[in-house]
Amino acid sequence: MFHGKYIFSQIFEFLPKYEFEKCVARYKGNYKNKGFTCRNQFLVMSFGQLTNRESLRDTVSCLAAHHQKLYHFGITYQVNLSTLALANETRSWRIYSDLAQVLLARARKLYQADDFGLDIPNTVYALDATTLDLCLSVFWWAAFRQTKAAVKLHTLLDLRGNLPTFIHISDGKMHDVNILDELVFEALAIYLMDKGYLDFARLYRLHQARAFFVTRAKINLAFTCLKSRKVDKTLGLRCDQTIKLITYKSKKSYPEKLRRVKYYDKEQGKTYVFLTNNFEISAIEVAMLYKYRWQIELFFKWIKQHLKIKKFWGESENAVKTQIWIAICNYLLVAIVKKELKIEKSLYEILQIISVSMVDKIQLNQLLNENSQEKSVNVNSKQLILFDL
């Protein structure tokens, strides 16, 4: 029998302590703090996230039931509801935002060689936003409509590993396209966006940064065709053109040539028209790249279902952002665990397993690795099995 650490403790051994303390010191998170440190706050909130608790009260109650194990979890302070709520209200959410960037840098190194489905050497990002609905009378600071509040998660997803490299949390009124003003574009990277981001002035700034984009054209796009290339219609391609914009405003905003690719999707029964500034990849790769943009929709669906960000545990802007960023940190931490321990299971399976195993004492790789579990069964094969004939 394994007499080592609890599963919860083993997971958070992957959290870089020195980098975490640097994030805390940067925003004076432990200033005038007598016991309940930022690390305690992070661990308590993470326990609630990873065990699928429904509220702060639920989280505190479950931890109280295991009070003798808190020290072994790394929680060095007996937490109560008011202390945890106050910490979420007052300690800067930027601590956990910066921590997410530290974890992201580590995760990207682990996933950089992964194949996302296309043989393209460039870094490929998907950009989109999702809206989280809130009650206006409670979350007054997140005004969206007359009778509704909301926050938006503007996310840039690296398709190698499905890692969120950039997240901006705004109120629901912020238009999606405005997030392009906040991004620092990476040279030679490919950015996949839907037509809600079609702003030629902003796209030209991306082009000047030597980055590439693939987006959808609007129906009323006015252009002149400079060159047309042959396409294989059996692949669903209908045209591959080099174009220039002709209306005064669009031509002034984007004076360079663009590539227009039309593609018919048999499965959906729809025709799509794509715009890109990349003339090096094939026309079918342009269409397939946009198809992989749907990975970010799956990411949003996944985090809404499996991380606690649809029901918030605090009412202030700081508390909401703290909860979201700690959820993202947990996502990245589990992604790191998956790669470091060479686990073949999906992130969904890993989260489901550890959610019911936090207080177990078993080796983490044995718990999550099917091969290890098979070996452990063989070791105990001398024990008589019920109904063994």
**pLDDT above 90: residue 383:** no
Quick one: pLDDT at residue 310?
Answer: 61
Quick one: pLDDT at residue 282?
Answer: 94
3-state SS, residue 113: coil
Q: DSSP string covering 105-154, please?
A: HHHHHHHTT---SS---S-EEEEEEEEEEE-TTT-GGGEEETTEEEEEEE
Average pLDDT estimate for 340-361: 87
**pLDDT above 70: residue 197:** yes
Quick one: pLDDT at residue 307?
Answer: 62
**DSSP H or E run through 38:** helix 38-50
**pLDDT above 70: residue 229:** yes
Quick one: pLDDT at residue 309?
Answer: 61
Enumerate residues 6+ apart whose C-beta is below 8 A from 200: 245, 250, 253, 254
Between CA 277 and CA 8 the distance in angstroms is 47
pLDDT digit string (tens) for 250-304?
999 999 999 999 999 988 899 999 999 999 999 999 999 999 898 898 888 877 7
Average pLDDT estimate for 355-360: 87
Average pLDDT estimate for 89-93: 94
The amino acid present at 306, given as its one-letter code, is H
Among 4, 2, 9, CA closest to 76: 9
- Greatest extent of the chain over all pairs of C-alpha atoms, in Å: 85
187 DSSP 8-state letter: T
Q: DSSP string covering 329-351, please?
A: HHHHHHHHHHHHTT--S-HHHHH
Helical pair 94-111 and 17-26, crossing angle rounded to 10 deg: 150
So where are the chain's domains? 7-94+307-364, 114-300
Burial of 17 per CB tally in 10 Å (0-12, 13-18, 19+):
exposed
Does the global pTM surpass 0.85?
A: no
3-state SS, residue 328: helix
Q: What percent of the chain has pLDDT over 90?
A: 53
pLDDT digit string (tens) for 38-65?
999 999 999 998 888 888 899 999 988 8
- Fold designation for 114-300: Transposase Inhibitor Protein From Tn5; Chain A, domain 1 (3.90.350)
174 DSSP 8-state letter: S
The tokens 């073949």 sit on which residue? 344
CB 198 within 8 A of CB 175: no
28 DSSP 8-state letter: T
**pLDDT above 80: residue 1:** no
Other beta carbons within 10 angstroms of residue 382's beta carbon come to: 5
Tell me the backbone φ, ψ of residue 227, rounded to 5 degrees. -155, 145
307 DSSP 8-state letter: S
Between CA 357 and CA 364 the distance in angstroms is 10
Quick one: pLDDT at residue 128?
Answer: 95
pLDDT tier at 388 (50, 70, 90 boundaries)?
very low
**pLDDT above 70: residue 381:** no
If one compares 76 and 203, the residue with the highest pLDDT of the two is 203
